């Protein structure tokens, strides 16, 4: 494509359309064109080689999965509209596999009966379907996509830990071979379940994930998961509580302006739905709620949802902007940083009034409530392990490894016999990597104003061979055909541009497609038995002897 | 598996389960286990190499397809329950692609504008889903399966013919490389549409297709498609028509017994639904209706369906067993062989009566009706080109190439500009090959009583290396480990059986899995620095020097 496509928001999506890597069939559904498929296959090959090297075994499970297995695991009802469901001609329920824990656990329970056969690690590279609410960024958040997913089963924690570490290392090797700048961080395990997990993020400004890392220490986590460090000790109370009228002040910013204070001396009160009615979560005024962490707090209804204005009014008698911990009508949870304030400002639980100089024990009976970690960390926070300050980066999640424990093996009765003949519920891990998404991530990190700059291991071809005036010049045709044949003989993957197009068009297309090496054969150079050679990243081409130019590639 | 699985009807299905090639997830849905996946990949590689050699370009289209494209082509309503449909979260209609004509034609119309870019041939190896009414024979008739499908576009018939022939040759090369005994035959094109097509059948007694071929000539067709030769000239009438009472004679056999005649001197009359009411099809008594050919006859309702007893009674006043061409109440079509009879027997259109000595022009006003080819050919028939006699074989359809004409390109407005700037509707072909089904077909042709006998190009591994007493004998362990390492160094694909199992179990498993070469390392042989070697087809093993045994494989 000559023009930037109108409907592409991120650079990788634009370049994938323009360079003929993909075409959209429907929202979130993409056809991989010949050039793109070659990249996809190279990524798959690297993944396969590294997975095989760990002793994992490749298999292939169906895309369409029967509902019964998901009922067994308890996820048939739990999975939302993201899971696409269908009925067969006999009205039996099926889904398009968004993931394969159920299928592999079913296979395991039918095939593996003894601890002696453990550990095992099975993987596949297969199509997945997730009916995203808002597919976007091309293959970065598509509905149908290719994923490498692996599942391991273990007789004990030690065996699991070793494989989890091995997968962590394997993922690092895979992404290193792809020449990607990435970070492995602690992450939330979402609806896959289990306890700990690590995400592998490729760094990119367009990334949807915020990665938190310590400036001077080992801590790294997705912001969804990142713990806040314990706050400094609370100062002593120094003010008396007083009431101020705050008519029409609906926001923290408005209150701060009226009182000439900063938000970090205020608290805000959010009402969410709890199992036994509304629960308030109280944060320092300058902090944001972390919905993932908050969703796991005691008493909160799953999934986390906010009370409507009507529900707030009914539960408290006032509207959202006037809520606060003094004389609270509902139970509340206090974020640690909010709990570390003294002499703070908060809503008065009276319409259009706030309190100043509030102190927890004195004014709010804090001891009856829980202090929790419910906020998003912010840049500059101390790392939770105390080593360094937190910094943020944007990343694209390309891999995620999960510690599943016995969530699936227990729910699905996938037990084996241990050495004493007793039943043993295996510990499981699962290890996902987004194959199609990786192509976009690679481009996000490897492009310039003119197009893609493929890393050598992933380039669809190694060499762009451009013949100028090929249709009319016998000399060009002879030299270019000869180079092409030599490339074939040497096993150099070559894309041969012998189109009847202007040189400018050909050069622009070569930059757009972004193969690592470019050779241009033209009449002018051939007079001296020369061609032009450059790498994709070189500014200028150099004259090379026709006889030795391929040495640049074979070396 | 030690035992034959109860639910497998054909040998390939049994062996695929027993040898650990596949496992069933649900009816018609299979997981490919590690051993099976290796075979699948080898088949894919051969297909890919041969397709690439023809200049076809590989791409990858989505499994999930939007309804709009199928509405464009007119097939959304036409496809029956075999096409699995689903709605996304926004209640938009999609299907699981049973085939990809619509998607590729849509891609073509958006990307290719000029005759200069033709011909093109795109292929993919992708998952398909067809919700078979009765999935059976394992992966031979599964619901989810892998297919190679190619689609070509041409500016003129000559270009199409060349590619069609090239694909025909390519398919022959692919199946030859797989060492399969196969036949390419003319076939019906079913709901893919278009005019001519050829099927590639792997010969096997368990095959669902009947292949018709000439004993001494080039003719070969699927029985669904096979034309009957023109019959011999009709003899002159020699009998007068007479009526006989045939109480309780409901079948041709009963009539023949009563009258002491053979079925080939009778006709039978079948009533099918026509566009303007019932139509009779009249066949010689010993012939069967060919429903595919009959479904294409003029005036027949689509798809072909038979009148019920009530419909027959209403249209003719008599029941099915008494129908005939004399004084017929409905229009009829006469098969050519039936039309070539003189002095024949038929139902009298009077309950429990038949006529003998019937002659067409004299008694039935044949000139008002059409003579057609509506029967299945039978063994011994003359070939339609007059060269040789027809014989039958059973086959498994593994490939099918179609001449689509402009069915899809016209319906979907996939036009290009010709050299004069006028609109040109490209001629299309499509070329399918059943990748997963091929694995079953290969096994149907390559097994013995003990298990699979893989052809070398498709074997999951080349060598089965069996170490006896590996756990206890240092000598066996050292020699076997050394052989294994040498295989790895030499690039010999080796399956190493170092399990703590009895020799009999190991030998039986080796035969079942069926790798081409087997080496057994045991203490007894090692005393003479020897191991046992045999191929899968050898009855007995021979002693070989440990130092030279791998030469059998590298040669």
What does pLDDT average to over chain B? 94
Q: What does the pLDDT read at residue A291?
A: 94
Instruction: Write down the residue that tokens 């018939």 correspond to.
Output: B157
Angle formed at CA B529 by CA B528 and CA B534, multiple of 5 degrees: 100
- Would B5 be classed as within a structural domain? no
A417 interfaces chain B, CB cutoff of 8 Å:
no
Chain B residues touching A34 at Cβ < 8 A: 57-59, 122
Counts of helices then strands in chain A (DSSP H, E):
16, 30
CA B115 to CA B419: how far, in whole Å?
7
- What is the distance in angstroms between the CA of the first residue and the CA of the last residue of chain B? 34
Within 8 A of B29 by CB-CB distance, chain A residues are 62, 64-66
Tokens of B542: 């021979």
Which chain B residues are within 8 Å of A97, Cβ to Cβ?
none
Q: In the numeric block, which tokens belong to residue A166? A: 């091995």
Contact indicator for A432, A147 with CB cutoff of 8 Å: yes
Sign of the Cα torsion A445, A450, A451, A452 reads negative
The answer to whether position B528 is within a domain reads: yes
List CB contacts (< 8 A) between B106 and chain A.
25
Last residue of a domain, one of B340, B372, B404: B372
Give the separation between CA B92 and CA B69, rounded to whole angstroms: 13
Residues 6+ apart with CB under 8 A from A162: none
Cβ neighbors of B421 (< 8 A, separation 6 or more) are none
Do A40 and A182 have their domain in common? yes
> What distances in angstroms separate CA B415 from CA A306, A491, B236, B473, one per listed residue?
54, 38, 57, 73
Which domain CATH number covers B533?
A: 3.40.50.800
> What is the tens place of the pLDDT at every residue in B331-346?
999 999 999 999 999 9
pLDDT of residue B193: 62
* C-alpha to C-alpha distance for B132 and B137, rounded to whole angstroms: 12
Say if A251 is an interface residue toward chain B (CB within 8 Å). no
Of B25, B59, B86, the CB nearest to A31: B59
Q: What is the pLDDT of residue B552?
A: 78
The CA-to-CA distance between both ends of chain A, in Å, stands at 34
Are residues B107 and A23, on separate chains, in Cβ contact within 8 Å?
A: yes
Which residue of A5, A41, A89, A142 is the best one to mutate when testing the B interface, meaning the one whose CB has the most B CBs within 10 A?
Answer: A89
Give the pLDDT of residue B493: 96
Boundary (domain end) residue, out of B372, B400, B429 = B372
Residue B151: predicted pLDDT: 98
Q: Measure CB to CB from residue A144 to each of B30, B64, B122 and give the nearest one.
A: B64
DSSP assignments along A71-134, one per residue: HHHTHHHHS-TTS-EEE-TT--EEEE-S--HHHHHHHHHHH--BGGG--EEEEEEEEEE---SS
Mutation choice for B interface testing from A5, A26, A65, A84 by most B CBs within 10 A: A26
Tell whether B79 and B221 lie within a shared domain. Answer: yes
Per-residue pLDDT tens, chain A, 555 aa: give them: 888 888 888 999 999 999 999 999 999 999 999 999 999 999 999 999 999 999 999 999 999 999 999 999 999 999 989 999 999 999 999 999 999 999 999 999 999 999 999 999 999 999 999 999 999 999 999 999 999 999 999 999 999 999 999 999 999 999 999 999 999 999 887 766 666 899 999 999 989 899 999 998 989 999 999 999 999 999 999 999 999 999 888 889 999 999 999 999 999 999 999 999 999 999 999 999 999 999 999 899 988 999 999 999 999 999 988 999 998 889 999 999 999 999 999 999 999 999 999 999 899 876 777 899 999 999 999 999 999 999 999 999 999 999 999 999 999 999 999 999 999 999 999 999 999 999 999 999 999 999 999 999 999 999 999 999 999 999 999 999 999 999 999 999 999 999 999 999 999 999 999 999 999 999 999 999 999 999 999 999 999 999 999 987 887
Q: What DSSP string describes B340-386?
A: T-SSEEEE-SSTTEEEEEE-IIIII-GGGSEEE--B---TTPBPTTS
| Cβ within 8 Å, pair A89-B32 | no
**Chain A CB contacts of B103 below 8 Å:** 25, 31
Asked, for residue B76, whether it belongs to a domain, the answer is yes
Q: Which residues in chain B touch residue A63, judged by CB atoms under 8 angstroms apart?
A: 63, 127, 129, 144
CA atoms within 13 A of residue A332's CA, in its CB half-sphere: 29
- In this predicted structure, what is the pLDDT of residue A180? 97
Asked if residue A187 lies in contact with residue A197, where contact means CB atoms within 8 angstroms, the answer is: yes
Question: Do A255 and A356 sit in the same domain of this protein?
Answer: yes
For residue B20, tell me if it sits in a domain. Answer: no
- Structure confidence at residue A554 (pLDDT): 81
Whether B293 and B352 map to the same domain: the answer is: yes
pLDDT at residue B191, rounded to an integer? 65
Domain count for chain A, please give it: 3
Contact call for residues A323 and A355 (beta carbons, < 8 A):
no
Band (B323; pLDDT cuts 50, 70, 90): very high
Closest Cα in chain B, distance from residue A344 (Å):
46
Q: Rounded to whole angstroms, what are the CA distances from B33 to A420, B6, B465?
A: 29, 20, 20
Domain boundary among A372, A400, A432: A372
- Give yes or no: residues B110 and B247 share one domain: no
Give the pLDDT of residue A194: 63
Same domain? For B163 and B51 the reply is yes
Task: Give me the DSSP letters along A334-395.
Answer: EEHHHHT-SSEEEE-SSTTEEEEEE-IIIII-GGGSEEE--B---TTPBPTTSSSBEEEEEE
A219 and A258 co-located in one domain: no
Tokens of A446: 């490897």
Considering only the C-alpha atoms of chain A, give the largest distance between any 2 of them, rounded to a whole number of Å.
95
**Mean pLDDT for chain A?**
94
Same domain, B271 and B145: no
**Closest CB to B62 among A30, A86, A111:** A30
Residue B450 falls within a domain, yes or no?
A: no
Q: Residue B217 contacts by C-beta under 8 Å, 6 or more apart in sequence?
A: B383, B385, B386, B387, B388
* CB nearest B62 (choices: A25, A66, A107): A25
A290, A397: one domain = no
Q: Strands, DSSP E only, in B82-239?
A: 85-87, 93-96, 120-129, 144-154, 182-186, 197-203, 209-214, 220-222
Give Cα A417 distance to the centre of its chain. Answer: 37
CA nearest to B59, candidates A337, A498, A76, A23:
A23
Q: What is the CATH number of the domain that holds A408?
A: 3.30.930.10
pLDDT at A369: 78
Q: Would B453 be classed as within a structural domain?
A: no
Average pLDDT over residues B124-133: 96
CB contact under 8 A, B25 and A66: yes
Compare all CA atoms of chain B with the CA of A117 and give the residue at the minimum distance.
B499
Helix H or strand E segment including A29: strand A29-32
For the beta carbon of residue B484, count every other beta carbon within 10 angstroms. Answer: 19
Using CB atoms within 10 Å of the CB of residue A418, give its burial: 0 to 12 exposed, 13 to 18 middle, 19+ buried: middle
Q: Tell if the CB–CB gap between B89 and A81 is shorter than 8 Å.
A: yes
Take residue B137 and report the two structure tokens written for it: 């024979």
Q: Is position B16 within any domain?
A: no
Report CB contact under 8 Å: A58, B37.
yes
Q: State percent of chain B over pLDDT 90.
A: 88
Same domain, B534 and B489: yes
CATH number at residue A314: 3.90.960.10
Which among B231, B297, B291, B239 has a CA at the least distance from the CA of B264? B231
Q: Which structural domain range is residue A516 located in?
A: 461-554
| B contacts of A86 (beta carbons < 8 Å) | 84-86, 96
H or E element at residue B101? helix B101-111
Beta-carbon-side half-sphere exposure of residue B231 (alpha carbons within 13 Å): 18
B chain contacts of residue A110, beta-carbon cutoff 8 Å:
23
- Do B491 and B519 lie in one domain? The reply is yes
Nearest Cα residue to B207 out of B397, B379, B22? B397
Q: Where on the phi/psi map is residue A491: left (φ > 0), alpha (ψ -120 to 50), or beta?
A: left
pLDDT at A195: 67
Residue B194 reports pLDDT greater than 70:
no
- Residue A259 domain-assigned (yes or no): yes
Q: Note whether B290 and B365 are same-domain residues.
A: yes
Please tell me the pTM assigned to this model.
0.90
According to DSSP, residue A30 is labeled E
Q: Does the beta carbon of B63 lie under 8 angstroms from any beta carbon of chain A?
A: yes
């Amino acid at each position: 494509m000559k023009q930037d496509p109108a409907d592409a928001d991120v650079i990788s999506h634009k370049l994938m359309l323009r360079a003929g890597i993909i075409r959209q069939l429907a929202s979130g559904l993409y056809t991989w064109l010949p050039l793109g498929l070659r990249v996809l296959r190279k990524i798959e090959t690297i993944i396969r080689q590294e997975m095989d090297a760990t002793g994992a075994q490749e298999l292939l499970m169906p895309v369409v999965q029967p509902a019964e297995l998901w009922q067994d695991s308890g996820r048939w009802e739990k999975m939302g509209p993201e899971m696409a469901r269908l009925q067969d001609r006999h009205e039996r329920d099926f889904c398009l596999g968004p993931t394969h824990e159920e299928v592999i656990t079913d296979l395991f329970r039918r095939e593996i009966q003894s601890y002696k056969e453990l550990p095992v690690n099975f993987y596949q590279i297969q199509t997945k379907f997730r009916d995203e609410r808002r597919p976007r960024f091309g293959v970065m958040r598509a509905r149908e996509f290719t994923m490498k997913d692996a599942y391991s089963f273990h007789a004990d924690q030690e065996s699991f830990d070793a494989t989890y570490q091995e997968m962590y290392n394997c993922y690092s090797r895979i992404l290193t071979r792809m020449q990607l700048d990435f970070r492995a961080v602690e992450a939330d395990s979402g609806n896959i379940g289990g306890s700990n997990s690590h995400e592998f993020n490729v760094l990119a400004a367009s990334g949807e994930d915020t990665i938190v890392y310590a400036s001077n220490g080992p801590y790294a986590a997705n912001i969804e998961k990142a713990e806040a460090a314990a706050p400094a000790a609370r100062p002593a109370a120094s003010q008396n509580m007083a009431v101020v009228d705050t008519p029409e002040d609906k926001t923290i910013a408005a209150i701060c302006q009226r009182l000439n204070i900063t938000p970090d001396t205020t608290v805000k009160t959010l009402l969410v739905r709890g199992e036994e009615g509304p629960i308030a979560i109280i944060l320092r005024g300058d902090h944001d709620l972390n919905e993932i962490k908050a969703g796991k707090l005691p008493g909160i209804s799953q999934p986390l949802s906010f009370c409507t204005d009507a529900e707030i009014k009914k539960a408290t008698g006032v509207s959202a902007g006037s809520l606060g911990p003094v004389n609270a009508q509902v139970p509340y949870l206090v974020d640690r940083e909010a709990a570390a304030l003294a002499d703070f400002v908060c809503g008065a639980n009276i319409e259009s009034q706030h309190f100043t100089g509030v102190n927890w024990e004195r004014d709010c009976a804090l001891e009856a409530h829980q202090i929790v970690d419910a906020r998003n960390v912010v840049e500059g926070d101390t790392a939770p392990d105390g080593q360094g300050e937190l910094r943020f980066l944007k990343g694209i999640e390309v891999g995620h490894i999960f510690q599943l424990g016995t969530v699936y093996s227990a729910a699905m009765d996938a037990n084996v016999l241990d050495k004493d003949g007793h039943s043993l519920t295996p510990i499981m891990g699962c290890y996902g990597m987004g194959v199609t998404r990786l192509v976009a991530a690679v481009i996000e990190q490897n492009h310039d104003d003119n197009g893609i700059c493929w890393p050598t291991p992933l380039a669809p071809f190694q060499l762009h061979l451009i013949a100028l005036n090929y249709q009319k010049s016998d000399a060009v045709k002879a030299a270019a055909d000869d180079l092409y044949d030599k490339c074939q003989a040497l096993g150099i993957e070559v894309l041969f541009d012998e189109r009847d197009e202007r040189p400018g068009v050909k050069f622009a297309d070569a930059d757009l497609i972004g193969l690592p090496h470019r050779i241009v054969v033209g009449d002018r150079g051939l007079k001296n038995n020369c061609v032009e050679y450059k790498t994709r990243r070189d500014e200028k081409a150099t004259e090379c002897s026709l006889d030795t130019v391929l040495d640049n590639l074979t070396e």
